[in-house]
Structure 1
Amino acid sequence: MSEQAERSERDEHVVLGKLTSPYGVKGWLKVYSHTSPMDGILEYSQWVLRQGDALKRHRLLQGRRQGKGLVVLLEGVDSRESAEQMAGAEILLPKADLPELGGNEFYWHQLEGLTVVTREGVVLGRVAYLFETGANDVLVVKGDPQGTPPALDDRERLLPFLPDEVIVAVDLAGGSMTVDWDPDF
């Protein structure tokens, strides 16, 4: 797949999870979900599965919690052998199908790539990714002095995603996030 096609695909879809392995002999698959709550992934009846360069739509027939995880049955997957062929596929959803969020709520994919700037105008870098902790979500901000705009340094910083405390403003249209953060920390 070309770089431009991959970028277009990333612009159109968000990764919700991954099919990990077969479950039983009737085509069920175990699912690793990136949604919160975990079983929120089951609310979407149409999944786009990506294996390598191939994208294929599947209808979710059934899904449920099983132990500490999830299992699903997809249309057209009716045996352990066909489930084995699906294992490892990423579960995508068109971004247009995501529910609308309220005022100061954001999907993680919307924050990734934003330029992070302190109140004083110091560029710390770009949001590389986020992860969840028990207390709050954390932004991983990677600096790049050769980037556009150039960052202060090439450090990786972990910033707590605390709106109105650390996160002062998010400008999705402008591609930036203003933070109350000491660049030396």
Structure 2
Amino acid sequence: MVDKQSNLIDVGRVTSVFGIKGWVKVHSDTEPPENIAGYSPWWLKTRHGVKAMEVEEFQPHGKGFIARFKGVDDRDGAEALARVTIAIERSQLPPLAPEEYYWHQLEGLKVINEYEGEPQVLGCVKHLLETGANDVLVVAPTEDSLDDRERLVPYVPGQFVKQVDLVEGLIRVEWDPDF
């Protein structure tokens, strides 16, 4: 879940070390995945706090990427940075067209269902899933929701998603609550 107070947005992870010269394996959550290389600095969320790191080298490797940070030249240094989240500052994200949203903007919003009648609270957006055909809102129940079920609602604006209101913190949907 995104911390709405933080200026940092999670964009990937350092998964493990690669070789003996300070390289690490990187998993990117950006779209397209190689866009992660365009952000600088990377803020690594280590167990000792958040640390800004400059990527000195970056390249594709297998289904992911490998990177080497400035000042990290051996396996021990890389090991200290393995298994951490990579974040960037919100201000680094490019602006979007109207009616487009970053996933982090939708996470935590209350979901109101307007399917056949009286509006009902389904819960709040826990996170999103990428399925290929369309993204899916994972809606977790809340104290004021219709019931205690988690629901998957396709993020299809105009069809199932009727309105996103970032100011009010709401998403209005038309979704059969039995699904």
Question: TM bucket by the smaller chain?
Answer: over 0.9
Q: Secondary structure at the match of 1:61?
A: strand
Question: For the residues of structure 1 that align with 2:54 and 2:3, how far apart are their CA atoms?
Answer: 25
**Aligned match for 1:96, one of 91, 94, 106:** 91
- Whether 2:156 is the aligned partner of 1:158: answer no
Deviation >4 Å, runs of 4+:
none
**Aligned match for 2:175, one of 172, 175, 181:** 181
- Whether 2:128 is the aligned partner of 1:130: answer yes
- Whether 2:71 is the aligned partner of 1:73: answer no
CA positional deviation for 1:7: 4.7
- Identical columns (%): 44
**Aligned match for 1:20, one of 15, 23, 28:** 15
Of 173-182 and 119-128, more deviation after overlay is shown by 119-128
- Kindly provide the amino acid, as one letter, of the partner of residue 127 in structure 1: V
**Kept after mapping to 1: 8 A contact 2:111/2:125:** yes
Q: Secondary structure at the match of 1:11?
A: coil
- Whether 2:34 is the aligned partner of 1:39: answer yes
Structure 2 segments unaligned to the other structure (5+ residues): none
Question: For the residues of structure 1 that align with 2:51 and 2:58, how far apart are their CA atoms?
Answer: 19
Q: 1:133-174, CA deviations, whole angstroms, 9 ceiling, x for partnerless residues?
A: 121111100112x2xxx1111110001111111111100010
Equivalent residue number for residue 138 of structure 2: 140
- The structure with the largest helix share of the pair is 1
Aligned residue pairs total 175
Equivalent residue number for residue 54 of structure 1: 49
Equivalent residue number for residue 107 of structure 2: 112
CA positional deviation for 1:184: 2.1
**Aligned match for 2:164, one of 144, 152, 170:** 170
RMSD across aligned positions (CA)? 1.5
Q: Secondary structure at the match of 2:54?
A: strand
Structure 1 segments unaligned to the other structure (5+ residues): 1-5
